[in-house]
Amino acid sequence: MLSKRYTIIVEGGLGQRFAGAFPTASLVAEDGKTRLDTEPLDQSQLHGLLERLRSFAIELVSVHEVVEPQRDHGQIAGGLPEADPGAATDRRDGRAEPPRGARR
């Protein structure tokens, strides 16, 4: 099963006494709410964390999946290949120029 990171916002400021109850998340208090930033969780772990929030009668505000850019074989997902900083690509065919002084 695929693991994903989540940002969960709850009502109120959860103090450090709750940190042990949510070991797979970091707690950040801000503006009368608390943000839980999770480690990668599968669906079962996410539901367990949400159930734990409910069991403490903590009001859930929002749950969002954290979308991280994916890299695939030197390409950014949906984008162009990453540039090789050591290669000069002045040629029209896109191939790298050999270093100056090298034989062709």
Query: What are the CA-CA distances from residue 55 to residues 48, 49, 62 (Å)?
Result: 10, 10, 17
Q: Decide which of 3.30.1360, 1.10.3470, 3.30.70, 3.40.630 is the CATH code for 6-65.
A: 3.30.70
Q: Tens of pLDDT along 38-93?
A: 999 999 999 999 999 999 999 999 999 998 776 655 555 555 555 555 545 444 55
Residue 54, H or E segment: helix 43-55
0.75 surpassed by pTM: no
**What does the alpha-carbon distance between residue 19 and residue 47 come to, in Å, rounded to a whole number?**
18
Query: What are the CA-CA distances from residue 52 to residues 21, 47, 58, 78, 80 (Å)?
Result: 8, 9, 9, 37, 43
